[in-house]
Every structure is written in structure tokens, then in C-alpha cells.
Amino acid sequence: QAVEKQLKICGFKRNVDVLVLYLAGQGLRSIPSLSQFHRLRYLWINNNKIQDLSFLIKNYCLTELYLNNNELTDVSGALKHLRALQILLLHNNQLKKLGKTVKELKGMISLQTLNLFHNPLAQDPDYRLRVIYLLPSVQLLDRKSVTQRERESALHLYSRERSCVVQSVAFGKRVNTPLGTTVGSSRCTQPARRLMMPSGCEFGNHTNKVPFENPEDAVLLRAMTRSLMEFSSVDWNKVATCQERRLENKAEEPHEKLTVQFR
């Protein structure tokens, strides 16, 4: 009856025209299947007494789903097919198992806004970081924006090996050096061989009027004309943030930096 009442209020004559359905605050304990509204995108069922979500089994087009303030204890098997969801509000329910709940939401690659507060699962240690790590698309969690600092902390906490790889990424740039300069790493360098080029040698058009007497000179010349790349790597875990520098009020120590050059 609640569904039929809403359809009359909105003036919908065909099920295919129903994109929005508002069923909030009507004391509903159960809802019949909404599979006939296969284009439904926005659904409000908040402030009811819903305990089961089986009525959503065919609504693949949902982008916003408001389930807050109900009596849900488990969402396993009820939401994972809603891949287009962008907003999902589940706060003020009775969800207890964080692992099962997050697993149900992992396929929602477009999910940006998620509320899970005022559920027993929100009392778990590191609850927020765990959700941020397992649901990387979420930008707003429990009405609070997810920061880059939180993403880094979550990655370091739940995937230490991957975090080390990210922290070791180096930055590269091209270095303009004249012919005959030293090539190698900052730790181990060897003096470059002195190159004697014959007169009449042209480089731009790939023609050498006078060949090299020593073939090794030709090979060395070709190597020396290539671009020289320089990469520097810093352990970012040891670099203090702006906030840490302000709070500790300490002079910043020089960072250990490894620089490698190669052609």
C-alpha cells in the first residue's frame, strides 16, 4: 500500500518511469519486491523497522540508497549486486560484523559516500582505517572526508609490503651533461674514458665521413650521446610532515638521499 500510494502521488503510470521512490518514516517492517522498477535509481527507506533487504535483488541501477535508522543486523548477500551505488547510508542499525559488511560492499567501485556509524561494528579497533583500506573509492566516510594521510596510514597498517614499495618510488629527471663527463651512481663512479674523435665526423644526419680507427671509440661515442637520466630516492617514512615540524619545533635534519645516474 505504501508503494502504491507513492506511485499515485508522483503520477507514475508505468513501472519503467519510476526512478525515485520515497518510503521513509512509515513504520514498515517489510517491503515487497521492487524488481518491477528496474530503472529505480534513488530509494529512501530510512526511519523504518526493516530487517531484511531481499526486496532489492533486481534493482541494479540504484545509485543512492538510504537505509539508516532501521533494524538491520546483516547485509550479506543483499547489496553486492548494486555496483552503481554512489551513496549508501547504513548508520543507526544493528550491524555487528565489520568484515562481512565490508566484503559485501567491495564490488561497489563507484561508492563515494558511506555511513556506518552508530552500529556495533564501528566499535572495532582501527574501524575507520580498515574501511578506508578495503573500500578505496569512498571519499566521505561517516560524514568526514577521507584524507590522504588516512589512506597512507591504512596502507601501512594493512599492507606493509605494498606501503614500502610506494615509499620507495623515485623521481627522475633528465640531466644535461657534456660529452666525456663521469657516468655512474653517486656511490660508485668511474672516470669516463677520454674520447678522441676524428675530424670531419658529423652526428646530426647519422653520417660519419671519416670512420673511427678504433671501433671502441665509435661504440663509446654512441653511448655518450644518449640521454643521461638521474633518479633520486628518499625514505619518506623518515620525513616529518608540516604539522609534525610545527608541533615538535625542531630543526629538520638533512635527509638521506640516494642518487643514481645512467644512460
In order of their start, the domains of the chain are 1-164 (3.80.10.10), 226-262 (no CATH)
Q: What is the residue type of 29?
A: R
pLDDT band at 192 (very low <50, low <70, confident <90, very high): very low
Task: Give CA separation, 118 vs 49, 71, 164, 203, in Å.
Answer: 16, 12, 34, 72
261 sits in which H/E element: strand 257-262
Query: Please, are residues 43 and 68 in contact by the beta-carbon 8 Å criterion?
Result: no
Query: Are residues 131 and 153 in contact, defined by beta-carbon separation less than 8 angstroms?
Result: no
Cell output for 95: 550491524
214-260 residue pLDDT tens: 777 776 766 666 666 777 777 777 777 777 777 766 666 677 777 77
pLDDT in tens, 98-141: 999 999 999 899 999 999 999 999 998 889 999 999 999 999 99
pLDDT at 158 over 90: no
